[in-house]
Structure 1
Amino acid sequence: MNATPVPGAVPYFCQWESAHLAGAIIRKELALADDPAWRASGARNIDEYVRWASHVCGMACLKMVLAARGGQTHPTLELARRSLPFGAYVEQPDGGIKGLIYAPFVRYVADVFGLEAQVRVDLPAAGLPALLAQAEYFMASVHPWIRWPERQPPGKGGHLVLVTRATPDSVTFHNPSGEPGTQADVELPLAVFDAFFAGRGVAILKAG
């Protein structure tokens, strides 16, 4: 099942409720409809969970931030539904889902949770240490293959991870769609992270 908060640490949450089964979900060995913990997502039914669960990496990142900041755990799909009036996602007529859309997301987290956030674009990986000296967290757009850092990705971006620390040498992050072993507190050399990083994301600024 999903992780529980650890005092003094940023808790980890997978975008799929059964974090320990993420590898099977990624490899299509387990259908999302067969995730035994789906109800914990806040989905109103299994169809809603199946439709949304692979699109909520950003909401999983937000869930981690909120748990770290205030100790409260919000169901992931509940966070996604609450963001819809702000336009953080767009539900398309064919059933598809477009998002996470950064600017509406920033308005959402400010209005609903009092988080101060900023959209960042054209950000080189080398700029992450300076950013993390000012921001508490950074939701970074990376290629989903970052769960397999030894592979060369076919592109950059398309998935969000929560960066918790950056130095001139390395980046540490929680990956909502990592396989077991590449989920929480993943540390990669800055140059390796750069191969996946699209140079954009959302910075969550330090409180008060």
Structure 2
Amino acid sequence: MGRLPGAPHTHTWASSWTGPILAVCVLFSCLPLAGAVDFGVAVVPPHPTVGQTVTLLVGGARGVAQSCTWYRRSSTAETDRILTFTSPDTRSPGPASTGRETLGGDCSLRIAGLTPQDNGSFTLIIRARGRSHALFVRLQLAGKSKKGRGGAGWGAQQGALWGGGLSRGRHGTGWGAQHRALWVRVGVQQGAPWGRERGGGAW
């Protein structure tokens, strides 16, 4: 039935924008960002001693990671590679493996029989959803001095310290709080790891 002469036009301002809005949604997707992933890593126990076993516990990677590789120090050189896990269940040791390390399907690294040489930084590269995620964590053996780590953020009084830049610039929430864990900053970059070690705090 057509509009009667003189009747008010029913085409509203909002409806006039429906077409352009739908077009923009189709072009850029108006759904929540997909692929945003939160990863965290904790040292368990937080202050191990020589001879103990420690786990560099990773949260958020199980069922998501296509591959993950652990390196000694803040390096991704092949000579510093410890172990690589490739989904679904392939593990390959690297030149820096001592035979005391095992790698779980959740990307967590377990080191048995700790020695003073294990004290220091570790780098984890997780490949997930087409992106490389770089995590940095410091293993501090009990009784070893924390050189260059003075100031707020590294003392036990600071509690769990959170990192930012998680995949989409979001802060981690549930996993770190649940474990009262050491969190480190996560960076995302195609290829080489991003940024520097950001550190965290022990509970």
Same fold per superposition (TM over 0.5):
no
Structure with the larger helix share:
1
- The structure number with the bigger radius of gyration is 2
TM-score, normalising length from structure 1?
0.28
**Structure-2-length-normalised TM-score:** 0.28
Higher strand content, 1 or 2: 2
